[in-house]
């Protein structure tokens, strides 16, 4: 039997597999009963919706202007071509060929690396603990926007302090180090209530307003995922397309504001000297990786519901280009408004945008909207866009966990998807409670940095090594040929074997070498919280070596035979082990 046929999915030849003697060894998820996308567009919108998230709106514009403006597009494009897009294509091809989730797939690739699947699921849970809270913040802003005068416009509210200074467009107002804008006090004091927390030492009680918002978010998530891709594939027609309508509306409005040209010029003006800074290349690599999202198991899960001969190569190119162009477009949307704010404040653009985190979306941009004509309308559509951007990514992240676990335990969970999804959503909601406290923003920052930071990069690095070097680039390319009818070119093979793993190793090493102090607002995280963060990161990654040891211990035979079995796809390794044992037993 050839290597290509030995790893082909079961549903390629359903009639033959129905009577094959080893049919019981194949996962139930790989039969014709597996769900499939109702339409090709459902899949494309789901992938685009996952890749295009809140980070495209705040992180890319900020990193771009901080790292050389238009010049940053050079390292960004290079990193996309030789790192992000090849890994993106690899995951889509793996998911579509093997038609199973992030855990079970390793039986058919390299069993000793099965711990990668468990690590991905744990990382997915950590992301759900904080990411949905950010969507809940946006929902609270959305609700607060339904008023004639936006509540973050003035300093005449119960939550404001004597430091509140509404200086927007006023030349006779003095600003000092203690001054706070109405938008900042609305976010920090009214929405977060962070003034009532004493850092992570004492996070305070729950914010019931945010609790209700998060509960509503998880209700939407549950009823979008409970029936599988047939329901989520319909929801993304709204959640994945609405942000583009809103982005174009906000772009047109922003371009007509006074001073918008200052923001655009600052955004795209090339600073060629920045290209000699290693940090710029690190930022470009990290941005394209987290933007496209390989390693989270989402692409494996979404592609596993495709027909076997679907053109995943074309899908990878289309969705990658759409994602990168969306990031670039978002930069214009953000910086036209920042230019307007700089004009009204009579300051430089770099003095307006000082934070690449959520503050840009919850303080800076809302402040600009509050001082526009038609502020209520633009606030409503802006925060509606944020909600839909976040929901798409949540759908993808949780579907990766659902698919991985259900494919691993089909006999237990195969007929109980609704109950399993309900249990998973309940776990995610419970895990998010600490982010709903007065100091919840500190917890969000900690989980964002350590829960899905370096650990996910290390996971996808091992994934690339396992596929290219252990499963074998020749076998993988044969799999692609059996689906698409053509053998991947030298560019793809070189990227998978050498360039993409080097790209990931570059990010990992650089992130360990450059570790600035972790801060949020004026709070500097104490050392013990950093230690907790490392434990959070290790709690997911540790499953990879743990499973390796477990697999080697419980596999029968000599150490050489065990290694041979553990690094080969199970159906191939089983045949090799049988032959080896027969030769050993022969007289």
The response to whether 38 counts as a known ligand-binding position is: no
pLDDT of residue 519: 84
Percent of the chain with pLDDT over 70: 89
Mean pLDDT of the chain: 85
Say if CB 127 and CB 456 are below 8 A apart. Answer: no
pLDDT of residue 587: 42
CA torsion 234-235-237-238 (nearest 10°) is 150
State how far the Cα of 353 lies from the Cα of 82, in Å rounded to an integer.
31
pLDDT of residue 532: 93
Spatial neighbors of 201 by CB under 8 A, at least 6 apart, are 526
The response to whether 47 counts as a known ligand-binding position is: no
Q: What are the structure tokens assigned to 526, written together?
A: 């104490």
The response to whether 56 counts as a known ligand-binding position is: yes
pLDDT of residue 517: 82
The response to whether 453 counts as a known ligand-binding position is: no
Closest residue by Cα to residue 100 from 113, 78, 117, 83: 117
What would the pLDDT profile of 496-542 be if each residue is shown by its tens digit? Answer: 999 999 988 888 888 777 777 888 888 889 999 999 999 999 999 99
CA torsion 63-76-330-190 (nearest 10°) is -30
What would the pLDDT profile of 3-28 be if each residue is shown by its tens digit? Answer: 334 344 444 443 333 333 333 333 33
Greatest Cα pair distance, the chain, in angstroms, is 100
The response to whether 291 counts as a known ligand-binding position is: yes
The response to whether 323 counts as a known ligand-binding position is: yes
Reported as type and span, the H/E element at residue 470 is: none
pLDDT of residue 2: 38
pLDDT of residue 32: 55
pLDDT of residue 571: 66
Give domain limits for the chain.
Answer: 3-527
The response to whether 571 counts as a known ligand-binding position is: no
Task: Name the DSSP letter for residue 180.
Answer: B
Band of the pLDDT at 63, cuts 50, 70, 90?
A: confident
Q: How many residues does the chain have?
A: 587
pLDDT at 398 over 60: yes
**3-527: CATH number:** 1.20.1740
| Helical packing angle, 375-408 and 115-144, nearest 10° | 160
What would the pLDDT profile of 106-124 be if each residue is shown by its tens digit? Answer: 999 999 999 999 999 999 9
State how far the Cα of 222 lies from the Cα of 215, in Å rounded to an integer.
11
DSSP 345-382: HTS-GGGT----STHIIIIIHHHHHHTSTTHHHHHHHH
Mean pLDDT of 49-58: 84
Is the dihedral angle over the CA atoms 508, 511, 513, 518 positive or is it negative? negative
pLDDT of residue 118: 95
What would the pLDDT profile of 210-219 be if each residue is shown by its tens digit? Answer: 999 999 999 9
293: left (phi over 0), alpha (psi -120 to 50) or beta: left
Say if CB 30 and CB 234 are below 8 A apart. Answer: no
The Cβ of residue 26 has, within 10 Å, a number of other Cβ atoms equal to 19
pLDDT of residue 394: 93
Band of the pLDDT at 227, cuts 50, 70, 90?
A: confident
DSSP 474-534: HHHHHHHHHHHSS---HHHHHIIIIIHHHHHHHHHHHHHH--PPPEETTEEPPHHHHHHHH
pTM to 2 decimal places: 0.87
């Amino acid at each position: 039997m050839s290597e290509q046929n030995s790893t082909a999915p079961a549903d390629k030849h359903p009639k033959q597999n129905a009577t094959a003697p080893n049919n019981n060894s194949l996962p139930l998820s790989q039969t014709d009963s597996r769900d499939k996308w109702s339409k090709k567009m459902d899949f494309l919108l789901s992938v685009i919706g996952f890749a295009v998230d809140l980070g495209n709106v705040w992180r890319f514009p900020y990193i771009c202007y901080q790292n050389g403006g238009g010049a940053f597009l050079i390292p960004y494009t290079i990193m996309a071509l030789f790192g992000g897009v090849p890994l993106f294509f690899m995951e889509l091809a793996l998911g579509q060929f093997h038609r199973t989730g992030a855990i079970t797939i390793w039986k058919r690739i390299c069993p000793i690396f099965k711990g990668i699947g468990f690590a991905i699921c744990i990382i997915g849970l950590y992301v759900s603990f904080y990411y949905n809270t950010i969507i809940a913040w946006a929902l609270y802003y959305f609700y607060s926007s339904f008023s004639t005068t936006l509540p973050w416009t003035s300093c005449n509210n119960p939550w404001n302090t004597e430091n509140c200074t509404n200086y927007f467009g006023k030349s006779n107002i003095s600003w000092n180090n203690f001054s706070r804008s109405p938008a900042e006090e609305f976010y920090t004091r009214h929405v977060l209530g962070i003034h009532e927390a004493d850092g992570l030492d004492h996070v305070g009680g729950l914010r019931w307003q945010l609790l209700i918002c998060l509960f509503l978010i998880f209700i939407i998530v549950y009823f979008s995922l409970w029936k599988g891709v047939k329901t989520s594939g319909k929801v993304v027609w709204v959640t994945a397309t609405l942000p583009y309508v809103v982005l174009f509306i906000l772009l047109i409005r922003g371009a007509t504001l006074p001073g918008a040209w200052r923001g655009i010029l600052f955004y795209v003006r090339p600073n060629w000297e920045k290209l000699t800074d290693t940090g710029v290349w690190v930022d470009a690599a990290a941005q394209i990786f987290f933007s496209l999202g390989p390693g989270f198991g989402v692409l494996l899960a979404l592609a596993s519901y495709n027909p076997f001969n679907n053109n995943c190569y074309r899908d990878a190119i289309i969705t990658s280009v759409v994602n990168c162009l969306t990031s670039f477009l978002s930069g214009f949307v953000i910086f036209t408004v920042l230019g307007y704010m700089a004009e009204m404040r009579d300051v430089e653009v770099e003095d307006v945008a000082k934070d690449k985190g959520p503050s840009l979306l919850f303080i800076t941009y809302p402040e600009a909207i509050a001082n526009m004509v038609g502020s209520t309308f633009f606030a409503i559509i802006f925060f509606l866009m944020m909600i839909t951007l976040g929901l798409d990514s949540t759908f993808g992240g949780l579907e990766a966990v659902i698919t991985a676990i259900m494919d691993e335990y089909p006999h237990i969970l195969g007929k109980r998807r609704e109950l399993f999804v309900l249990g998973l959503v309940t776990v995610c909601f419970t895990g998010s409670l600490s982010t709903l406290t007065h100091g919840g923003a500190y917890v969000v920052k900690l989980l964002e940095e350590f829960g899905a930071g370096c650990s996910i990069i290390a996971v996808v690095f091992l994934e690339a090594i396992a596929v290219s070097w252990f499963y074998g680039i020749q076998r993988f390319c044969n799999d692609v040929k059996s689906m698409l009818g053509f053998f991947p070119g030298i560019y793809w093979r070189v990227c998978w074997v050498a360039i993409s793993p080097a790209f990931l190793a570059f990010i990992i090493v650089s992130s360990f070498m450059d570790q600035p102090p972790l801060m949020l607002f004026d709070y500097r995280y104490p050392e013990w919280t950093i230690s907790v963060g490392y434990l959070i990161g290790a709690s997911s990654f540790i499953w990879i070596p743990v499973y390796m040891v477990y697999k080697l211990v419980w596999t029968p035979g000599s150490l050489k035979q065990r290694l041979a079995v553990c690094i080969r796809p199970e159906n191939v390794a089983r045949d090799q082990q049988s032959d080896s044992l027969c030769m050993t037993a022969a007289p």
